Amino acid sequence: MAKDYYELLGVSKDASDEEIKKAFRRAAHKYHPDKEGGDEAKFKEVNEAYQVLSDKQKRGQYDQFGSSFDQGGAPGGQGFGGFDFSGGQGFNFEFGGDGGGLGDIFGDIFGGGGKSQSQTRRKGSDVSVDVEITLEEAVSDTEKDLNIYLSSICQQCKGTGAKNKSDIIKCKTCNGLGQIKKERRTMLGTFAQMEVCQDCHGYGEKPEKSCDKCGGDGKIKESKTIKIKIPAGIADGQTIRLSGQGEVGFRPASGKSVAGDLYVAIHVKPHSIFKRNADDIIYNLEINYSQAVLGDKLKIPTIYGEVNLKIPSGIQSGKIIKLNDKGLPHLQNRGKGDMLVVVLIKTPQKISRSQKRILEDLRKEGL
């Protein structure tokens, strides 16, 4: 019975090349014999289907003549040719290049595929620190000096890892490629993949004599002071990222590694009298009964200093008086939040006899 390659991969006949590739990737993961629950026979079938449908010429021939094409159904009897799925012999897959195809697809299964580590710039470790500031410091741009302990460039070898600059030699293990070819024999045949050279760590070169201070890493752990600028209006819990201010990578002078990033988490300390709500400042103001009835003028604190506040007569407890632009600056935007003064009328717990007589008289008056 003729095989339906589209059905084997679970795609329609008008599927795109990318859809076919994704379908094969899923099927290869599912049926690969080296994985638990794998199915060797099924794996060979989906493999055969992909070999045909991923090639435009073979796909066109298959669409015209079907899977019996390789048995002489096509003009000239050429068939698909070049693929032997009967015993797992006669085919070799190369992994580790940039060309995609089977090397890219099987990379997830066998650990290879895609760009090798030697072809990409490696990054040093990111570093996270916490910094605490006051609410007053959050009002304007603030600078802080951070004393942190991290990997920095070894000043003795300038990041080369070598005792002397002339000691840098081409790696003999990989012949300067930074990667070596490893072959793996399976029931499906021999699979070759490119692996990072462990002798030079993928750099293609190494120190013949290592630096006495860093031992060939090109970096050492040391205390470092970094100045950080904290923008006005920053909120509690927000993080500032300083690119390239983290730990340096392995042998930074090689140009094949970059420093990690520094992440600074900002914590704004709680204030003794103010509360923050986004960019607004909330302040509870207690006044007595007579001030509430008659009104008053008071000096009250703000994060910018004292200001005069007019209390209107007859104000009710819980009433909010808004002071425009007395809050925190809007981060990365113009303008400021407001200060919200919450008026609270306090009731005295103890009063004198004269005060009591006055209040009794006021009660008789309906107040």
Contacts of 241 (CB under 8 A, 6+ apart): 261, 262, 263, 264
Give residue 72's domain range.
5-86
Residue 243 shares a structural domain with residue 310:
no
For residue 179, the model assigns a pLDDT of: 83
Residue 291 shares a structural domain with residue 333:
yes
Asked if residue 213 lies in contact with residue 221, where contact means CB atoms within 8 angstroms, the answer is no
Residue 127 shares a structural domain with residue 260:
yes
- By mean pLDDT, which of 238-252, 255-269, 333-347, 349-363 is the weakest? 349-363
Our CA dihedral for 30, 31, 36, 39, rounded to 10 degrees, sits at 150
Alpha-carbon 110 to chain mean position: 26
Residue 242 shares a structural domain with residue 340:
no
Residue 245 shares a structural domain with residue 307:
no
Q: What band does 103 get if pLDDT is binned at 50, 70 and 90? A: very low
Residue 347 shares a structural domain with residue 229:
no
Beta-bridge partners for 240: 264
Residue 126 shares a structural domain with residue 220:
yes
> Could you tell me what percent of the chain has a pLDDT over 70?
81
Asked if residue 144 lies in contact with residue 228, where contact means CB atoms within 8 angstroms, the answer is yes
Which of residues 349 and 322 earns the better pLDDT score? 322
DSSP alpha helix (H) spans, the chain:
5-9, 17-31, 40-53, 56-65, 101-110, 289-294, 353-364
Task: Specify the 3-state DSSP secondary structure of 61.
Answer: helix
Q: What band does 191 get if pLDDT is binned at 50, 70 and 90? A: confident
Q: What band does 199 get if pLDDT is binned at 50, 70 and 90? A: confident
Q: What burial letters (b/e) apply to 100-135, b meaning 16+ CB within 10 Å?
A: eebbbbbbebbebbeebbbeeebbbeebeeeeebeb
Number of domain units in the chain: 3
Give the CATH number, domain containing residue 317. 2.60.260.20
Residue 259 shares a structural domain with residue 129:
yes
For residue 36, the model assigns a pLDDT of: 66
Q: Which of 314, 322, 333, 310 is nearest to 277 (CA)?
A: 322
Residue 22 shares a structural domain with residue 58:
yes
265-295 pLDDT, tens digit each: 999 999 999 999 999 999 999 998 888 888 9
pLDDT at residue 176 is higher than 80: yes
Asked if residue 351 lies in contact with residue 359, where contact means CB atoms within 8 angstroms, the answer is yes
Residue 68 shares a structural domain with residue 21:
yes
CA 220 to CA 250: how far, in whole Å?
A: 10
Task: Specify the 3-state DSSP secondary structure of 166.
Answer: helix
Cβ-defined contacts of 277-280 (< 8 Å, 24+): 277/340, 278/235, 278/337, 279/233, 279/327, 279/328, 279/329, 279/330, 279/331, 279/336, 279/337, 280/327, 280/328, 280/337, 280/338, 280/339, 280/340
CA 305 to CA 162: how far, in whole Å?
A: 59
In a domain, 245, yes or no: yes
In a domain, 199, yes or no: no
Residue 220 shares a structural domain with residue 354:
no
CA angle 90, 92, 94 (to 5 degrees): 170
Most confident of 60-69, 104-113, 158-167, 327-336: 327-336
Q: What band does 342 get if pLDDT is binned at 50, 70 and 90? A: very high
pTM for this structure? Answer: 0.58
Give the CATH number, domain containing residue 49. 1.10.287.110
In a domain, 56, yes or no: yes
36-55 pLDDT, tens digit each: 677 878 888 888 888 888 88
For residue 8, the model assigns a pLDDT of: 87
Residue 248 shares a structural domain with residue 324:
no
Across the chain, mean pLDDT equals 80
CA angle 254, 259, 265 (to 5 degrees): 175
Task: Specify the 3-state DSSP secondary structure of 313.
Answer: coil
For residue 301, the model assigns a pLDDT of: 96
Which of residues 131 and 347 earns the better pLDDT score? 131
In a domain, 333, yes or no: yes
230-254 pLDDT, tens digit each: 999 999 999 999 998 998 888 887 7
In a domain, 303, yes or no: yes
CB atoms within 10 A of CB 233: 22
The tally of CA atoms less than 13 A away on the side-chain side of residue 151 is 22
3-38 pLDDT, tens digit each: 788 888 898 988 888 888 888 888 887 887 666 677
Asked if residue 98 lies in contact with residue 115, where contact means CB atoms within 8 angstroms, the answer is yes
183 φ/ψ angles, rounded to the nearest 5 degrees? -110, 140
